[in-house]
Structure 1
Amino acid sequence: MKLKTLTQRISVALFLLAGSAWASKPAFAEASTSAKATAGKPNVILILTDDQGYQDLGCYGAPKIKTPHLDQMAQEGARFTDFYAPASLCSPSRAGMLTGRYPARQGIHRVFFPHHTSGMPVEEITIAELLKTQGYKTAAIGKWHLGHLPKFLPTNQGFDSYYGIPFSNDMWADPKMTISSNIVWREGADLNTFKSARKRGPVPLMRNTEVMEYPVDQSTVTRRYTDETIKTIDAAGDAPFFIFLGHTMPHVPLYASAEFEGKSAGGLYGDTIEELDYNVGRILDHLKANGLAENTLVLFTSDNGPWQLKGNKERYEGGSAKPLRGYKFGTYEGGMREPFIAWWPGTIPAGKVCSEPASGIDLLPTIAGLSGAAVPSDRVIDGKDIWPLMVGAAGAKSPQDSYFYYSKSGIEAVRQGDWKLRIDRRKSAKKKKGGKQNSGVELYNLREDISESNNLATQYPERVAEMKKVMETFDAELQANARPPVAL
């Protein structure tokens, strides 16, 4: 790849084939691939891990897991302390990141399984579709989990190509999936066993819309996803590119290659994180070797918090969200607050720490601003441009007055500045011993109480009432304009 000047190519990496469905989406401006039209367009790679805990990087306090490449990335860039996934489980979170819209607004409340016939509505507009209007090459690599049937795959959501496992690695194959003529059968599998597969664990590897390997060797996927990313960077030529790299790990069951399994003091979970770290380093090194480092922004995050697991089942170990409270599936901080690192040598000042709230829903408008793409105006976009936070602009504050936490279809919490109000309606519907009503209302000052251990609701009733009103008003607007819940 030829060395490019800053005005010729700005690369953006985020550690986060338009098909027939485009006819049902708003018309996009015709993409121009001329050198003049694409000059200065930022490349984007969104690297996203799966079920990683807040503490599971050295730079976030991991006591046993070593992540030198990501630690260096944070030292050379900006590390966010208060970054939130759009949801506390896989499919909704990914939908929010790719569209800039709360998942509940899209009708996505639960994860998609291989027996489901639905996915993220094709009418939603993804980052990839926006960037295609600006002449981008686009690729999705790794876990998708927004629908595995052709209508819902990345190649019908703005991506030129797809390579990866289409759902979680603890699921199974759908016998209706299209089989490649060059499929690699492993572990004694054949077409007959594939068509009758219902056992959890064996999952397919896809290329575009076809299964190319079954069952995939999960100990190889972290390396192979990275190989594919590097090939995609090299194949882009002079065109800007967007790569959505969704790592399968550390979702359970956990797998690491022979080079990493059994090596981490953090157990098998630590092995997977250390292998992810190594492969992030491979991508950064590749950018440096090709003269792209000073033109590249790299962002790294996860889709939600860790499983609450005790490791009493083989290959099932959860991470750590300490010092946060809670886990995946919940709306305490541990379920939704994630590591987030922004790196762009020469543009993002080194060693910055940002404590302003930000979220995965903010990625679409931020990338749109960098690329010159227009944010869709025919629908509500919940995210805001957080580029000033990434570059540490003087006096930069979160562009959001409030961030909202949804649990399945219901709103459950809101953060405003340092304050978080959480209302668990399941608890409020129950009575304590003795017949007293349990309010289920929790108020925390997150700046002073990151672990959500000191409920201040009774001390600040006016603040509770004000924030509750904000929650109710926002949710009423969202529900009035939301898509119907996606039928599974």
Structure 2
Amino acid sequence: MSPSFSSHSKLSRRAFGGAVGAGAAAAAVGLPAGAAGAAEPHRSTYERPFSAVPHRRAKRPNILFILGDDLGWADLSSYGAPHIKTPHLDRLARQGVRFTDAYAGSATCSPTRFSLYTGRFPGRTKGGLAEPIADTSVGLDPTHPTLASLLRDAGYATALIGKWHCGYLPDYSPTRSGWDEFFGNFGGALEYYSKLGSDGKYDLYQGQAREGDAEYKDLRYYTRILTERADEYIQRDHGDRPWLLNLNFTTPHWPWIADGDEEESAEIVRRIKAGQRAALWHQDGGSVAKYTQMVQDLDRSIGEVLLALKRSGQERDTLVFFASDNGGERFSYNWPLSGNKASLQEGGIRVPTIVRWPARLDGGQVSHEPVFTPDWTATLLEIGGARPDPAYPLDGTSLAGYLLKGEALAERDLFWRVRGERALRRGEWKYYQGKDGVDQLVNLAQDQREQADRAPDEPRLLAELKAAWEKTNEQLLPYPAA
């Protein structure tokens, strides 16, 4: 263990201290007795260090897990965006915990979703090696336990609304991997009005989504449709069962089309039908202003969903989680981070992350602990009273003890791998190797922008972190030949 990691852990433990319960409070949600950053870049006046409130009781929560798509780390006003206004997500942060050093499980869409649904590194499974999935040959194996299947076995109702991107029909579907219900799209992107993918096929389904099921025809703006569906699910009578809703928006992923841009939509559709598969990528479109409009629409839509939750009377007992699936694209505001989506630099994997649970977490808190997607899988399984399958050990660490009892997180490494790049974070130190094959070492507490290579000054630490990365990498599947 490096000395700087140890001192950082002590600082974090002193600065945090929680959000909710110990002892009887933990027992009330079935938690066992035990359960692990850099300086904050943007501090709001309403925020205070993370701290624990003992003896607060609650039942197992509903779980509303919201993902934005390609949203950059600083694209919310609560994360420092000077030109984007996100009042609803800012309010969510005021009511819960905002994480400054939270990461996606990978740098692109489907590998991160694999890491969330399985709680494991994407490289544990064949489908997770696709960066991202673009054909029908691979997907999330229906026999692999998932967040949804394990929570369903523990008594939860489960639904996925929005983007799946973990495989295509007939072999892969959310309803084959633990979700009771699915309404959404299978591919990585779709045109917001026509629902056409880059292959020109219609991509909006509902129900069991088995091969031969009817497509669901609705040519309105996609974000509106998903918002309505989520509202309906939340306000439905679920009886005595808690529920898990994965709400996966495609906003603000390309194409750069906001609500009302029907002429731009029609032009992209024309190009798709003419066989221009790259038309959906919209490389000749978009702008900072258009991107801002899309992010603000996402915020407004999430505000509607949160209002539906409040009106349903379930707000207190619902854990709401919000994050992005990876770093932002070319119009994102990522300052001071370097890199974008697909890169293992900070801008490609660090994401905005907010957690609210009124029954158990005090609001207005900020956490600087380094955490990543597989941690949330482990956390939600523990809070939901579900047991992971020992045949498929999790790579994430449950944060339940940290969040609910103020326990310090144990020393651990955060690991990433994509084709041509590697990264590992331990405390404030990050080991990174880019496509040039050069090993670098940065201290993120001092240099979030990753510009000062400390490798020449810390050769032993560099060797230690590199060896740790390679040890984990040896456990993973190799990439298929390109």
* 1:127 aligns to 2:138 (yes or no): no
Q: How many residues end up aligned between the 2 structures?
A: 402
Cα deviations by residue, 1:222-258 (Å, 9 ceiling, x for unpaired) = 1211211121122323321111111011110023223
Letter in 2 for 1:246: N
Cα deviations by residue, 1:313-363 (Å, 9 ceiling, x for unpaired) = xxxxx3122211100111101000000001122421211110001111112
TM-score when normalising by structure 2 = 0.77
Letter in 1 for 2:445: R
Alignment partner of 1:56: what SS?
A: coil
Question: How far apart are residue 451 of structure 1 and its match?
Answer: 0.8
Alignment partner of 2:171: what SS?
A: helix
Percentage of matched positions with identical amino acids? 33
* 1:321 aligns to 2:334 (yes or no): yes
Take 1:136 and 1:56, find their aligned partners in 2: how far apart are those partners?
33
Q: Name the CA shift for 1:252/1:201 in 2 (closer, same or farther; >3 Å).
A: farther
More relative contact order in 1 or in 2 (CA 8 Å, sep 6+)?
2
Letter in 1 for 2:68: T
TM-score when normalising by structure 1 = 0.76
* 1:403 aligns to 2:414 (yes or no): yes
Cα deviations by residue, 1:429-471 (Å, 9 ceiling, x for unpaired) = xxxxxxxxxxx01111001111111111101111111111111
Contact (CA 8 Å) 1:83, 1:337: kept in 2 or not? yes
Pick from 97, 100, 121: which aligns with 1:78?
97
- Aligned pairs for 1:14-53 within 5 A: 40-53=59-72
Contact (CA 8 Å) 1:106, 1:485: kept in 2 or not? no
Take 2:68 and 2:453, find their aligned partners in 1: how far apart are those partners?
32
Cα deviations by residue, 1:364-396 (Å, 9 ceiling, x for unpaired) = 2111111111111112210111124444x44x4
> Relative to total residues, which structure has the larger strand share, 1 or 2?
1
Question: How far apart are residue 198 of structure 1 and its match?
Answer: 8.4
Take 1:371 and 1:335, find their aligned partners in 2: how far apart are those partners?
30
* 1:229 aligns to 2:233 (yes or no): no
Q: Name the CA shift for 1:420/1:150 in 2 (closer, same or farther; >3 Å).
A: same
Runs (5+) with no aligned partner, structure 1? 1-5, 11-38, 173-185, 190-196, 309-317, 429-439
State the partner residue of 1:285: 307
Pick from 340, 352, 373: which aligns with 2:365?
352
Structure 1 stretch displaced more, 366-375 or 205-214: 205-214
Take 1:152 and 1:202, find their aligned partners in 2: how far apart are those partners?
17
Structure 1 stretch displaced more, 39-48 or 148-157: 39-48
Take 1:272 and 1:121, find their aligned partners in 2: how far apart are those partners?
33
Q: Name the CA shift for 1:422/1:473 in 2 (closer, same or farther; >3 Å).
A: same
* 1:118 aligns to 2:138 (yes or no): yes
Pick from 178, 183, 187: which aligns with 1:163?
183
Runs (5+) with no aligned partner, structure 2? 1-24, 30-57, 265-286
Question: How far apart are residue 406 of structure 1 and its match?
Answer: 0.8
Alignment partner of 2:129: what SS?
A: coil
State the partner residue of 1:256: 258
* 1:143 aligns to 2:163 (yes or no): yes
Q: Name the CA shift for 1:465/1:261 in 2 (closer, same or farther; >3 Å).
A: farther
Question: How far apart are residue 122 of structure 1 and its match?
Answer: 2.2
State the partner residue of 2:425: 415
Question: How far apart are residue 285 of structure 1 and its match?
Answer: 1.5
Cα RMSD (Å): 3.1
Take 1:198 and 1:280, find their aligned partners in 2: how far apart are those partners?
24
Question: How far apart are residue 72 of structure 1 and its match?
Answer: 0.8
State the partner residue of 1:330: 343
Alignment partner of 2:415: what SS?
A: strand
* 1:445 aligns to 2:443 (yes or no): yes
